[in-house]
Copies of this chain bind each other. A is one copy, B any other.
Amino acid sequence: MTEQNHLLEEVLQEDKSLTDKQRQILIAATEMFAEKGFAATSTNEIAKKAGVAEGTIFRHYKTKKELLLSIVTPMMVKMLGPIIIKDMNKVLDKEYEHFEDFLRAMIKNRKEFLEKNLKVVQIFLQEIPFHQELREQFIEHVGKKVLNRFVQIIEHYQQKGQIVNIPATTIIRLTASTIMGHFATKYVIGAKWNDDEEINQMITFLMKGLAPEE
């Protein structure tokens, strides 16, 4: 089985400032938020599951919502690390000469990320409609930075004549939809399939769909 709460492990190992109790609280809250949703999970339940007094939760997190954010925010930061940390323009030329290679690497990378953060991503997706903070954080951290970076990348491959010449944002949307649809089918619907083959078909579909006009 893949580890679905890798992020929490990292958090508890890396962040030496956290108490043991705090770690237990984060683990318990993640589990319950993912399962029942934020609004339907009581701090009492979290405390019990974490083996901690209810007061202890509020010693570390002023409000229940702060606890939610402290789970979701680091995930969002880590999510874009691999994308913006290094200057991708240079790397790209060398690492991925063809758009298809880039696509394949991207999918592999996101797949690993998802598998390691399944529950937190689930919480994020479930709660984003109800919390403006989450939406703002997402737009601030991910939206602008990542979208800009991707536009650059897409235009890079367009200039090399590898993909069709329509607006970069449209290409990103089409690609992202396809990839996210793949993961959604896999995790939400819980489908069992031959993953490698499905990914190959997806890439073939994307490469054909985005092929430049002759």
* Residues from 122 to 148 in A contacting B, C-beta threshold 8 Å: 122, 126, 129-130
B37:A201 contact, CB within 8 angstroms: no
For residue A40, CB closer than 8 A to chain B, the reply is yes
A182:B178 contact, CB within 8 angstroms: no
Q: From B126, B129, B176, B181, give the contact of A173 (CB < 8 A).
A: B181
Q: From B174, B208, B210, B211, give the contact of A202 (CB < 8 A).
A: B174
Chain copies in complex:
4
Give complex CA distance A198, B205 in Å: 19
Q: What residues of chain B lie closer than 8 Å to A2, measured between beta carbons?
A: none
Q: From B181, B205, B211, give the contact of A210 (CB < 8 A).
A: B205
A130:B40 contact, CB within 8 angstroms: yes
Q: What residues of chain B lie closer than 8 Å to A181, measured between beta carbons?
A: 173-174, 176-178, 180-181
Q: How far is the CB of A142 from chain B (nearest CB, A)?
A: 12
For residue A60, CB closer than 8 A to chain B, the reply is no
Give complex CA distance A39, B201 in Å: 40
Give complex CA distance A178, B201 in Å: 15
For residue A152, CB closer than 8 A to chain B, the reply is no
Q: What residues of chain B lie closer than 8 Å to A210, measured between beta carbons?
A: 205, 208-209
Interface residues of A (CB under 8 A from B): 36-37, 39-40, 122, 126, 129-130, 166, 170, 173-174, 176-178, 180-182, 184-185, 198, 201-202, 205-206, 208-211
6 closest Cβ pairs, A-B complex: A177-B181, A209-B209, A39-B39, A205-B209, A39-B40, A37-B130
